């Protein structure tokens, strides 16, 4: 079983690299949010404001600014494409795997346990939705969380506490839910070092608060609007909570979850000479603090309406330390090996299905040529980068515009409405996604001033297959 687990580890590392590297260099978006993140990074590279009022030219996403700031700096060096942002995410993924190896090896003094834990993380590529190397914030977020908790859980000196505060601040400005990790770490540190925890809490609170105030002042309040007002408006559904616990975690991550259940949760009822008595659970590792925090963070994201599988990345990453904890408590056992192999099996996939094909690339090339050959400006609703590649002026992505309007419940920007009314766009290309067809105001506006003229052939309709599948489908032309 040990040999099988190690061979499976090697296999899944190889499969991840075989699948992800071609995706890093694929020239078009694999997930529609990649497109808006790239346009946001390009604005950073061009020293243009990001957190602005909704308008026809640009609409930011609800994510915090660190990822697109780093992406903008990379674009200045490497040029505008998905490659710099994907390399950032790919590098963060490999760093996270390395950190998991280091943590597990340090805790157990066994390199092979570290190797298996790191391989399990890369083997979770399918379970977490194939987002590891895409141009999104998640991989950088997980890496910073891992570094912050790695420092914070062992922090006893002032420099270590300050370092943990700094790293978790960076995580917060990558994704807002890092504040829950900071809260969990605060509680843990208070129980262990009492009031010296202030050397973590005060710097973290000051760094976060002061930076928010500065960014909000610089953007006339639009920073807060996009990253908190809009981002915090997603409702939570009870059904999604149940699905997250029982399907995503207990089933999809079943091997790792069973390890924790076996280690940490003793029977709550125990038979003694006095009869049944209540027994408190016994916790075996300080890393359980990080695992519980990750479980809550992923649950918050996954349980919100629209929360996709990428939200599972934090909980899965920290659960990959479960073999380390089981080994420390029970050393080598058949249970350990069986659960490791089970978890790999749960994450199995065929890499050939997820590597971008030559047909996808050629389809994107043909669409760019079609847009370039069109007289006048072209609105590619879900993929403004296609317009930019064709030499046209990119416009705000409709998905970001819908989301930034409180899920399409507030009016469209005046300048966007005037562009449609004045036939500013000679052609509009729609994916017929829910962001377009469920926006009543947008549909009424389009039907009043434009008409559907044709449906694109498959060879001019490149898919963005990760997450919600979208691809350019319908062409609108101005009504005469």
Tens-digit pLDDT profile for residues 175-190: 999 999 999 999 999 9
pLDDT at site 269: 47
pLDDT at site 93: 98
pLDDT at site 262: 82
| Torsion, Cα of 379, 381, 385, 387 (10° steps) | -20
475, burial (CB in 10 Å: exposed 0-12, middle 13-18, buried 19+): buried
**For the ranges 69-78, 200-209, 274-283, 460-469, which has the lowest average pLDDT?**
274-283
Long-range CB pairs of 79-82, under 8 A, 24+ apart, other chains included: 80/38, 80/42, 80/45, 80/388, 81/27, 81/38, 82/26, 82/27, 82/28, 82/29, 82/34, 82/38, 82/135
pLDDT at residue 129 greater than cutoff 60: yes
Beta strands in 233-302 (DSSP E): 269-272, 275-278
Average pLDDT score over residue span 259-272:
64
Closest to 400 measured CA to CA, from 387, 386, 415, 384 = 384
pLDDT at residue 73 greater than cutoff 80: yes
**How far is residue 11's CA from residue 9's CA, in Å, rounded to a whole number?**
5
- Strands of the sheet containing 377-380, edge to edge, are 377-380, 425-430, 474-478, 450-455
Predicted confidence band at 5 (pLDDT cuts at 50, 70, 90)? confident
> How high does pLDDT run on average in the chain?
93
CA distances from 129 to 58, 88, 110, 161, 294 (A): 28, 18, 30, 34, 17
**How far is residue 387's CA from residue 106's CA, in Å, rounded to a whole number?**
50
pTM: 0.95
Q: What are phi and psi of 193, to 5 degrees?
A: -125, 10
pLDDT in tens, 270-302: 455 555 555 544 556 789 999 999 999 999 999
pLDDT at site 280: 47
pLDDT at residue 330 greater than cutoff 80: no
Predicted confidence band at 170 (pLDDT cuts at 50, 70, 90)? very high
pLDDT in tens, 217-241: 999 999 999 999 998 888 889 999 9
b/e 166-204 (16+ beta carbons within 10 angstroms → b): ebbbbbbbbbbbbbbbbebbbebbeeebeeebebbbebb
């Amino acid at each position: 079983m040990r040999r099988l687990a190690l061979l499976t580890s090697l296999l899944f590392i190889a499969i991840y690299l075989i699948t992800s590297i071609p995706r890093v260099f694929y020239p078009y978006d694999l997930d529609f949010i990649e497109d808006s993140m790239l346009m946001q990074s390009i604005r950073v590279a061009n020293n243009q404001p990001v957190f602005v009022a909704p308008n026809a030219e640009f609409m930011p996403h609800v994510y915090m600014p660190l990822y697109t700031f780093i992406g903008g700096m990379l674009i200045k060096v490497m040029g505008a494409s998905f490659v710099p942002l994907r390399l950032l995410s790919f590098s963060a993924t490999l760093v996270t795997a390395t950190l998991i190896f280091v943590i597990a090896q340090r805790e157990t003094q066994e390199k092979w346990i570290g190797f298996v834990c790191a391989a399990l993380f890369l083997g979770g590529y399918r379970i977490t939705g194939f987002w590891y190397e895409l141009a999104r914030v998640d991989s950088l977020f997980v890496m910073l969380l891992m570094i912050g908790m790695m420092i914070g859980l062992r922090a006893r000196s002032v420099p270590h506490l300050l370092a943990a505060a700094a790293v978790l601040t960076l995580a917060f400005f990558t994704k807002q839910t890092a504040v829950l990790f900071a809260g969990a770490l605060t509680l843990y540190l208070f129980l262990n070092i009492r009031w010296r925890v202030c050397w973590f809490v005060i710097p973290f609170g000051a760094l976060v608060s002061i930076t928010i105030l500065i960014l909000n002042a610089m953007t006339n309040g639009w920073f807060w609007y996009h990253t908190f007002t809009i981002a915090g408006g997603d409702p939570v559904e009870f059904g999604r909570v149940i699905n997250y616990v029982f399907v995503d975690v207990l089933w999809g991550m079943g091997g790792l979850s069973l390890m924790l259940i076996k280690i940490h949760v003793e029977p709550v009822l125990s038979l003694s000479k006095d009869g049944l008595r209540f027994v408190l659970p016994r916790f075996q590792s300080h890393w359980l603090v990080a695992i519980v925090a990750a479980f809550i963070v992923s649950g918050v994201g996954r349980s919100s309406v629209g929360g996709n599988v990428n939200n599972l990345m934090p909980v899965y990453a920290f659960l990959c330390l479960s073999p380390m904890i089981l080994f420390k408590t029970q050393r080598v056992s058949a249970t350990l090996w069986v659960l490791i192999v089970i978890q790999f099996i749960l994450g199995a996939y065929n890499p050939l299905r997820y590597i971008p094909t030559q047909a996808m690339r050629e389809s994107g090339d043909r669409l760019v040529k079609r847009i370039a050959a069109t007289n006048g400006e072209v609105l590619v609703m879900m993929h403004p980068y296609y317009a930019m590649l064709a030499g046209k002026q990119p416009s705000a992505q409709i998905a970001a515009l819908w989301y930034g309007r409180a899920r399409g419940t507030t009016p469209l920007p005046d300048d966007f409405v005037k562009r449609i009314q004045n036939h500013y766009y000679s052609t509009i290309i729609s994916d017929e996604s829910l962001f377009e067809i469920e926006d009543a105001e947008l549909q009424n506006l389009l039907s009043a001033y434009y008409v559907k003229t044709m449906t694109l052939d498959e060879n001019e309709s490149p898919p963005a297959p990760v997450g919600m599948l979208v691809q350019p489908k319908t062409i609108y032309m101005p009504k005469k």
